[in-house]
Amino acid sequence: MSESYAVLPVTDEVRAWLASVGCARPRIDGKTLSLLQLKQVISSLDGVSSIWGSGRIQDGHLRSSSGSETTVIVGKPGTGSEPCEFHFRGGEPELIELVVREIARHAGPQVIYAHSGTFIKVIGETGAGA
Q: Report the DSSP beta bridge partners of residue 52.
A: 60
Give the CA distances from residue 87 to residues 20, 41, 99, 127, in Å, rounded to whole numbers and listed in that order: 23, 15, 12, 25
Look up the pTM and report it: 0.89
Backbone dihedral angles phi then psi of residue 91, each to the nearest 5 degrees: 95, 180
pLDDT range class, residue 126, cuts 50, 70, 90? low
Q: Which CATH architecture has domain 4-123?
A: 2-Layer Sandwich (3.30)
Tens of pLDDT, residue by residue over 22-56, are 998 899 999 999 999 999 999 999 999 999 998 77
- Nearest to 24, CA basis, from 130, 98, 114: 130
Tens of pLDDT, residue by residue over 78-90, are 777 788 889 999 9
Segments making up each domain of the chain, as ranges: 4-123
Give the CA distances from residue 80 to residues 33, 36, 77, 124, in Å, rounded to whole numbers and listed in that order: 11, 7, 9, 26
